[in-house]
Copies of this chain bind each other. A is one copy, B any other.
Amino acid sequence: MSLIVIGTMAYDAIETPFGKTDRIVGGSATYVAWSASNFYSPIRQVSIVGGDFDQREMDELSTRGVDFEGVEMVKDGKSFFWSGRYHTDMNTRDTLITDLNVLAQFNPRLPESYQDCQYLMLGNLAPAVQLSVIRQLKQRPKLIVLDTMNFWMDVALDDLKLVLREIDVLVVNDGEARQLSGEFSLVKAAQVICNMGPKYLIIKKGEHGALLFYNDQIFSAPALPLEVVFDPTGAGDTFAGGFIGYIAQQDDISFETMKKAVITGSALASFCVEKFGPERLKEITQADIEKRLQQFEMLAKF
């Protein structure tokens, strides 16, 4: 039994009102792995990196039960690089540089050892690549979770619609849910999107928390009110990692478990934004997570 994570492993240069980093490890699969490995292993990673990718980043994750057999290393290539600058409100950002590099040739081949997959996390990536991973699995996983973004709705909507038919849980933010459905009301948007395939829909609303939709049931998860959001990069991937990591740990896909998984994802995301990149995720302990989860309980209980 295992959890497969597919996504980017990359470098980012980030500028926020609080400071800047020149080059820090990032990528959707990196954040998902750091987050999910608090709850579950083995995690079988699927990604592509260049010769410039620091082996120590993988070694750190290996000690947490992350398997890199499915990560292609292109020795004479460069890792995906993204650079961006956040505005003062921290909700909007400008992309300064996007160098696809080795990501342009990414055509993942699942190792045979990955066929024990029960939980599949399709991190933010081209929908066609996400679909190819589903198709390579001989047995359908218990749960397939897809994270995506508005960029793919703009440039690869048909591919995205194909992969939506194959998954169980879709994770998007409120703007993306509106774009994908053409509906302003999130309740109506959820109805339209669930007709496209997913049984469950998570709509992330940043500082306003997240909504989980399943049939006619809705769960509203609070966000932890924060004094400072230092760097939002990777918060969405970290949410997804906490979500699927908790479900894999519980080995249960009931609505009750999914609610707690949304809270767990939100808690992990609240750590992520406290420092640059995945720095804070590398520091936190089980005790830190436990304490943060209690804060969420205090916040929502009445």
Contacts and interface: CB of A to CB of B under 8 A. Distances in A.
B227 A89 contact: no
B302 A226 contact: no
Given A209-B220, A219-B299, A299-B220, A184 B89 contact: yes
A185 B226 contact: yes
A71 to B, nearest CB: 35
Nearest to A227: B187
A145 interface: no
A291 interface: no
Interface in A6-25: none
A78 interface: no
Contacts of A89: 184
This chain: how many copies in the complex? 2
A209 B299 CA distance: 13
A82 to B, nearest CB: 26
Contacts of A217: 298
Interface string A238-279: 000000000000000000100110110000000000000000
A143 interface: no
Which of A221, A222, A228 gathers most chain B CB within 10 Å? A222
Nearest to A90: B184
Interface in A133-190: 184-188
A300 interface: yes
A77 interface: no
A59 B259 CA distance: 47
